[in-house]
């Protein structure tokens, strides 16, 4: 149900769409499991890096493997994203959005790029990767796991936020309509965050491929 907007929220300069949906009481492991469920279902994210002289630049990328709170990607060494990461302290952000439920996950952290001899490349390689590399026919640049162009990017999370719906698609529309007509604030889901101490705690328990 939509919630009343209080005078104190306005006086304090609060954003009621955040404060009324924010949850900081859910146990750490449950928060991560619910975040994983959203990200693992979607598989494709927007991968953002910082480009010198421009700012944030994003592109869609498929997750090759999630290892606890961290994410591994396979990418072409000739991609400009590697220049971005090298010149901007490996700053990156990945974001998932489910257009059906409006659930989303946003992960800020640092991206570590490794060379082609990283053994994890063979562990997470999928033959479909070839479609994005092509085969030069020289027995070397074939899009396989030993192709020198194939590099691994490991995104190590430093801050995570996510929003999970608590109403159906029909209920979402009704909530927005009622809130708009009544002057109240819509409450359609739960907003949570995980900071570095929680992330480190989970990483120590769940990461299996993180170097």
In this structure, are strands 104-114 and 65-67 parallel, antiparallel, or unpaired?
unpaired
Give the rounded percent of residues in the chain with a pLDDT score beyond 90: 89
175: enclosing H helix or E strand = helix 169-182
* Residue range 113-134: mean pLDDT, rounded: 93
Q: What confidence tier does 47 reach under pLDDT thresholds 50, 70, 90?
A: very high
Determine the average pLDDT of the residues in 75-81. 95
Asked if pLDDT for residue 210 goes beyond 70, the answer is: no
CB 115 within 8 A of CB 151: yes
CATH homologous superfamily for 27-167+191-206?
Electron Transport, Fmn-binding Protein; Chain A (2.30.110.10)
pLDDT for position 209: 60
Q: Given pLDDT bands bounded at 50, 70 and 90, which one contains residue 153?
A: very high
String of DSSP letters for 116-134:
TT-THHHHH--GGGGGGT-
Q: What is the mean pLDDT of residues 81-107?
A: 94
CA-wise closest residue to 33 among 208, 194, 209? 194
pLDDT score for 185: 94
Of 26-30, 46-50, 83-87, the poorest mean pLDDT is in 83-87
Query: pLDDT band at 41, cuts 50/70/90?
Result: very high
For residues 177-204, average pLDDT: 95
- pLDDT at site 42: 96
pLDDT at 150: 96
- Listed residue (85, 147, 142) closest to 122, CA to CA: 147
Is the pLDDT score of 172 beyond 60?
A: yes
What are the tens digits of pLDDT across the range 15-28?
Answer: 999 999 999 999 99
For residue 88, the model assigns a pLDDT of: 84
What pLDDT, on the 0 to 100 scale, is given for residue 1? Answer: 86
What mean pLDDT comes out for the span 123-142?
A: 95
Label residue 188 by pLDDT band (50, 70, 90). Answer: very high
pLDDT at residue 211 is higher than 70: no
């Amino acid at each position: 149900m939509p919630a009343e907007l209080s005078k104190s929220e306005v006086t304090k300069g609060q954003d009621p769409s955040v404060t009324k949906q924010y949850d900081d009481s859910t146990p750490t492991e449950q928060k991560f499991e619910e975040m994983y469920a959203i990200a693992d279902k979607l598989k494709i994210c927007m991968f953002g890096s910082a480009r010198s002289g421009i700012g944030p630049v994003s592109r869609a990328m498929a997750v090759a493997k999630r290892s606890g709170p961290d994410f591994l990607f396979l990418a072409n060494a000739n991609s400009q994203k590697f220049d971005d990461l090298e010149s901007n302290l490996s700053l990156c952000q990945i974001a998932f959005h489910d257009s059906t439920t409006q659930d989303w996950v946003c992960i800020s952290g640092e991206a570590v790029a490794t060379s082609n001899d990283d053994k994890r490349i063979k562990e997470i390689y999928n033959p479909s990767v070839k479609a994005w590399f092509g085969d030069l026919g020289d027995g070397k640049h074939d899009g396989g796991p030993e192709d020198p162009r194939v590099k691994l990017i490991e995104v190590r999370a430093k801050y995570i936020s996510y929003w999970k719906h608590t109403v159906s698609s029909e209920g979402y529309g009704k909530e927005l309509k009622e809130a708009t007509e009544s002057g109240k604030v819509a409450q359609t889901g739960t907003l949570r965050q995980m900071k570095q101490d929680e992330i480190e705690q989970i990483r120590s328990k769940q990461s299996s491929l993180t170097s």
